[in-house]
Copies of this chain bind each other. A is one copy, B any other.
Amino acid sequence: MSQHTVRPVPAHEPPYYTVVFTSVLTEDTEGYTETAAHLEELVREIPGFLGYEHAADPGGLGITVAYFRDEESIAVWRQNLEHRAAQRTGIKRWYERYSLHVGCVERSHSFERKR
Contact = CB atoms under 8 A, between A and B. Distances in A.
A25 B9 contact: no
A53 B60 contact: no
Interface stretch (A31-39, A40-48, A99-107): A99-107
A100 B112 CA distance: 12
Contact of A55 (B1, B56, B91, B109): B56
Contacts of A3: 24-25, 59-60, 96
A86 interface: no
User: Which of the four size classes fits the interface of chain A?
Assistant: 35 or more
Q: Which of A2, A23, A63, A106 has the most CB of B within 10 A?
A: A63
Interface string A73-115: 0000000000000000001000111111111111111111100
A106 B70 CA distance: 12
A104 B23 CA distance: 21
A86 to B, nearest CB: 14
Contacts of A113: 26, 95-97
A104 to B, nearest CB: 5
